[in-house]
């Protein structure tokens, strides 16, 4: 009986840890390109939020540095090469947003390719 009880407790512990690991492994982004652009147009602050988007254009030599474009007026920029190409889907954490000539210039961190 003790052996059966130990086996059940062990199995429950393993399953519990598995559920925690799987649940914590994937986080849902706060915004997509479309919802991020709508939020910015509404005056919301996206700093610290995550955005998942498809790179629709990539300009490695823009005035702002490496520029991943998406949406109508979203420009995710960095001084470091993100090593992406047009069509890649990425998730980033927004550091700072500025508005210049009708476009949003967004610096980011924690780039993850999907």
**Residue 79 and residue 63 in contact, taking contact as beta carbons nearer than 8 Å:** no
Per-residue confidence at 28, pLDDT binned at 50, 70, 90? very high
Vertex 57, ends 53 and 63: CA angle to 5°? 110
In this predicted structure, what is the pLDDT of residue 84?
97
CB-facing half-sphere around the CA of 27: CA atoms within 13 A: 12
Q: Domains of the chain: which residue ranges?
A: 28-113
Exposure string over 3-39, b if 16+ CB within 10 A, otherwise e: eeeeeeeeeeeeeeeeeeeeeeeeeebbbebeebbeb
In this predicted structure, what is the pLDDT of residue 8?
57
In this predicted structure, what is the pLDDT of residue 111?
97
Q: Which architecture characterizes domain 28-113 according to CATH? A: Beta Barrel (2.40)
pLDDT in tens, 43-82: 999 999 999 999 999 999 999 999 999 999 999 999 999 9
User: The pTM is what?
Assistant: 0.77
């Amino acid at each position: 009986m003790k052996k059966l009880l130990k086996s059940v407790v062990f199995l429950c512990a393993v399953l519990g840890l598995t559920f925690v690991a799987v649940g914590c492994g994937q986080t849902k982004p706060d915004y997509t390109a479309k919802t991020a652009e709508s939020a910015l147009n509404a005056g919301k602050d996206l700093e610290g939020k995550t955005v998942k988007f498809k790179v629709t254009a990539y300009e490695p030599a823009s005035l702002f540095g490496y520029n991943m474009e998406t949406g109508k007026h979203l420009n995710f920029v960095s001084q470091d090469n993100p090593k992406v190409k047009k069509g890649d889907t990425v998730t980033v954490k927004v550091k700072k947003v500025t508005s210049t000539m009708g476009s949003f210039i967004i610096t980011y961190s924690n780039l993850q390719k999907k």
